[in-house]
Structure 1
Amino acid sequence: MIKVMLPNRCRFATRSFLNVTVSTRSFSSQDVAPLLVNPSNVTKDAVSIDASWHMPNSPRKAREEFLNKRLPQARFLDLDEVAKDHQLRLKHMIPDPQVFAKFCERSGISRTSPVVLYDTHGVFSSPRALFMFRAFGHTNSSVLNSGLPAWESTLNPVQYSPPSLDGSVIRGYEQIVSNSSKFDSTSELVLDARAHGRFLGTDPEPRPGLPSGHVPNSFSLPFNLFLAQNTNIVSGETYTRFKTRDEILEELKKAVGDGETRAMLEGKRQVVTSCGSGMTAGVLWLGLDLLGVKGVALYDESWTGYAMRPQNKIAKGE
């Protein structure tokens, strides 16, 4: 067991954590920080630094892993990069003081900032980073015992990189207008999930001032046709569920015909779902996916975005 020894003025109560005795008190910018801290001791003002490093023969890439998952607002410390000016080109050496100072400046670290260093192994490269900080007199620095794995396993929040959006499944206004100008074998099939009366233009829209009707060359397929009503035997209230695959298929055939249905299922016709504001278009999207129709797109603005532009053509009737 390793015990952290602190000056008398900073000696706090300790407890055992993974066979290592560490401080149980959170530290502030006025303290000489404990060498080891647990996830529960990391304060909101602490600057978290990912100092992960992998052996040269390892397929793991520390910076890429950092970009994918890290402590919230963490910075990345490339232990090799800061030492690149070494006269022998050796890796992860103590950097020039100016290089260290620039890293701290970029990371928003002052001489008194509490700093928590961690790595993705648990404990491997973070002690080396702590040695560097302490060697430059930054005593308000600590290693996060067990690193990112312990942080995550104790249900602390983890920051992930923003996911990439698959633009192929989203349709915008210009695409819908262009597609509506004609209907042939190359056109996308736009399915409107609104109530049939709103599609025809005979019933008003629920949004004041918005005309009813539909995008030219689109098809009416009210979302509720994919759903069945059930009754809660306890409360007596009704609720909805998806119909069976065969029932959904029949509703689709009624709406667009056997030929178009077959083309959709064979991947020969691109499908776009729409509705009033983009909400129930999701019901059609899911129902079509259940049928095996792949790559169904959704008109994000839907009818609200289309109809609020006065220059657009609005079709009415069948």
Structure 2
Amino acid sequence: MLFLRTARSFSLTTFRTISHRNMSSTSAPLLLSPKQVNELGKASSVSLLDSTWFMPNSPRNAKQEFSGKRIPGAQFLDLDEVASPHELGLKHMMPDKETFALACEKLGISPSTHVVLYDSHGVFSSPRALFMFRTFGHTNSSVLDGGLPRWVDDGLPIDTGSPTTPQRASYAPREFDATAIRSYEQIVSNSQLDPATDAKSEIVLDARPNGRFTGKDPEPRPGLSSGHIPHSFSLTFNLFLQKHKTKDGQEYSTFLPPEEIRKALENAIGPAETEKVIQGQRSVTASCGSGMTAGVLWLGLQLLGVKNVGLYDESWTGYAMRPTSQIAK
């Protein structure tokens, strides 16, 4: 199995050679540039998925924007629809095996398909989609770093006609990695441990803006308290990203180089704990508002080679909605 941490060290020739041997067990590069995706897209075994998601209070509509403009051949992955129901009515929770398999079949994805995920922010919701695929064992999956804006800015073709319907595929998920998902009960139990004194505790990283973490700023969801899970650390997801502007002035994001991602992690939890995390001596849980941008932290840590990373699926929204939750400010 080949594992490549970043697209910067990616060799397209090497990947093609390995992927043609056994694509179902191949770990594809985590990140790909638009030009690399464009070259890969000439193969019939590649599926491009627009996984754009907007905050509930946003006036933008991801499906409508996809219908009007997309990478040629792309399909739309609705993360709110490909999800399991939640007792608190939360959206885009990790789907069960049957829901995930049915979505893949409708999208024309087989177990051997190289899935490339992108969004119209650059990097925002596509890492969450990658987390889903990889948790279901579909390691032949990647994120288009810079998403649709970078694709357009690189002068690559776009499609503005009606989306095509893919040929239905057969899909049987591989083993689901249940250790990748943290439950409310696990978070509460872990929050009772001080990471500074208890090496058995998990480090919880909160991807929300720092103002919401400290309780200074309100949550975008009406009636939800701000603050944070006791003993968690603030690491706003944007600190793993760098901003760019397209030729027409549109702003988009890409991942920072690994060394700069490491610096951001060190600033949040300290150099000593960072080294333990990278060496696998401390495990990490990524959280955010609703489990979306926690995926950015998860992917950033993957780019550092960190293996012991989970995601608190319901994140702060689920935690704060429960009346018995302890909230720190």
- Normalised by the size of structure 2, how large is the TM-score? 0.48
> Which structure has the larger Rg over C-alpha atoms?
1
Q: How high is the TM-score relative to the length of structure 1?
A: 0.50
- Structure showing greater relative contact order (alpha-carbon pairs closer than 8 Å, 6 or more residues apart): 2
